Each structure stands twice: as structure tokens, then as C-alpha cells.
Amino acid sequence: MPQKPVRPHRPRPKSTTSAAFSPSSTWDAAVNAFLADCRRRNLSPSTTDTYLSILTSPRTEEFRRDHQVRSTRDLTADQLKAFETELFDAGLSSGSIVGYHRVLKTFGRFCLEEGYADDDAILQVDGPKREQYEPEVFTDEEEQRLLAACESERDRLLIEFMLSTGLRLGEVVNVTIDDIVESPSGAYVRVRQGKGRKDRIVPLDTSRRRMSRKVLKYIKDSRPLDSTTRALFVSRRASADGGYAPLSRRGIQIILYRLGQKTGIHVHPHKFRHTFATRALSAGVDVMALRRALGHTTLAMVSRYVHYQKDDLLEAWRRRRD
């Protein structure tokens, strides 16, 4: 996937005026109040951390210093546009700049509502247009190579599980053996408090792939029996106290990195999710059902996968009569 090169961030020489700049207590108070409100509204820690990192990032602080944005009332629509232009000039990708745009507008809306700002023009600023790329997916041949390179039954199941469910990395980490459910209507995995703090279910089986059997067999035959944790995926080695720790996000990332190194395949967690969604659409899964399985609140993200469905487009052209 083509990426716009990112130039290293280098602080600009400060003028005499900007050197005397110090962050305003008004800005700091607004940021602290905003983050407190995020916690009150029970937003996920990752979302709150993203807000904090952008509002206090070196780039944001540098822009405020250079443009004398001493308080939240100084952050106007023109200032936001100027900041985004500077981010583009610094070589950031459009996706990164969209992140800044969304956070600053969300922060600006809060400031308006709570009396930290009084110019609502910032809410009318349109965000940068983001490049659209075809989602990167695994081929069937690459899937087989990854499975063949796995060093344990746990790792094999991890690869198949991520391909069969499309769960986000954090959701995979949180799955327990109690979340694997067999019902008269079919087996499924229960995703507890996924993105947006929402529970959902994801079917495990299709007419050709019985993923639930593989999961249950792994739990019975391969997963450490004396593990006190209920996590589905646990470490392969016992800790000093004899227990087996749940596999962490970092642990899964290391497994995927090593598989990528061994096979020469580009492997990252979200590529499994892209593959799951693309295969589901190709197999005829309704977009509304896929939206629920992926845990999206709208069809906007799912439509991306629909847009890049090659087979349907090629088949439509094959049936042309001209």
C-alpha cells in the first residue's frame, strides 16, 4: 500500500515572542475538564488516551506556541485550517491529519458547550479528504503458508480464529473460554465490551468451516489444563507461580511479526479483519449482518469493503450482452 513519506519532526527555531510563550491555564483547564468528561461518559481508555496525546502532542504545542494560541478562545476556524496545512507540509498522512481534525473539533465543541470558547465557526470546518486504498487481505495460499509456519497449536488456532471472526486485536485478547457458546442456532463467540463499549456476537461456523470444533478441541487438548485464567489464548510457558498468563496484545503482535519474518508475508492484526470482511461479502453475507459482526455502528466502514469487491464487478461485466 503506497504511503506518503513522513519527514522527521524537527522543532522550529523559536522567535523572541514565541520563546516567552507559556501554556495558558485556560487551555490546560479546558483539556483537563474535557478528559474528565470523557471518563464520565465512560469512553474507552484508548479513546481518552488518543484525545490526550493529540491535545498535548509536541506538534500541537509547537503550533500553539508559534501562532500564540494561548487559550481555547484563540483556537479559531482559521487557526485549525492553518494547523492542518502545516501538518500536510510536515509530511503527515491524510489519515493522521484527519485524526487531529476530529479530536480538535470534538474538543472545540466541548469548549463551546462549557463556556471555554465562544466562536462556533470551528465546527463548520470540513476535514481533509482521506485517500482510499483497497483493503489488504490474505490470499488462500498465504493463509496456508502462515499456518504451516506456526510453531504450536495455539498459534495455528490464533491465525484461524482471527481469520474466521474478524475480531480486533484487543477483542481477541479479551475472549475467554466462557465466550465460546454453542446454541441450537449455531456456535458463536461472545465479544464483551468491544469498541464503543458494546457487546456483540460473531458466528463461528459456516457450511464449509467448523471453527467451533477446532476451538473446543484446542481447549480440551492443547490449552494448559491447570491455567487459572479463563482467557482463551494464554502463554505457552508457566510463570514462576506455575500459572499461565493471558496472551497480551504485545504477545500476539510478536507472534504475527515472527510469522511474517518466517514467511515473507506482510502480517498485521487488522489484515485479518479485512480478510474476514472481504471473504464474508464474497460468500454472500448481507452487509447489515456483516456490520453487526464487525461491530460497526454505521454502514460507512462496511461500504469500503463493498466498493472493492472485484468478483461482483467482473461477473457483472461478464454477463453483459454487448
pTM: 0.69
pLDDT of residue 175: 95
Distance CA 133, CA 131 (A): 7
Please say if the pLDDT value at position 17 is more than 50.
no
Classify residue 224 as exposed, middle or buried by CB count within 10 Å of its CB (0-12, 13-18, 19+): middle
C-alpha cell at 239: 510463570
CB atoms within 10 A of CB 80: 20
Q: In which residue ranges of the chain is CATH 1.10.443.10 found?
A: 140-318
CB atoms within 10 A of CB 71: 18
- When comparing pLDDT for 135 and 72, which is higher? 72
CATH architecture assignment, domain 16-124: Orthogonal Bundle (1.10)
Q: In which residue ranges of the chain is CATH 1.10.150 found?
A: 16-124
pLDDT of residue 233: 94
Please say if the pLDDT value at position 12 is more than 60.
no
Region 128-151: what's the mean pLDDT?
87
Find out whether 215 and 180 touch, Cβ atoms under 8 Å.
yes
pLDDT of residue 320: 65
Region 129-147: what's the mean pLDDT?
86
Average pLDDT of the chain is: 84
pLDDT in tens, 162-215: 999 999 999 999 999 999 999 888 899 999 876 667 789 899 998 888 999 999
C-alpha cell at 114: 462549557
Distance CA 308, CA 136 (A): 11
Please say if the pLDDT value at position 9 is more than 80.
no
pLDDT in tens, 243-298: 788 899 999 999 999 999 999 999 999 899 999 988 888 888 888 888 888 887 77
CATH number of 140-318: 1.10.443.10
pLDDT of residue 314: 64
Distance CA 32, CA 208 (A): 52
What is the sign, positive or negative, of the torsion defined by CA atoms of 82, 84, 85, 90? positive
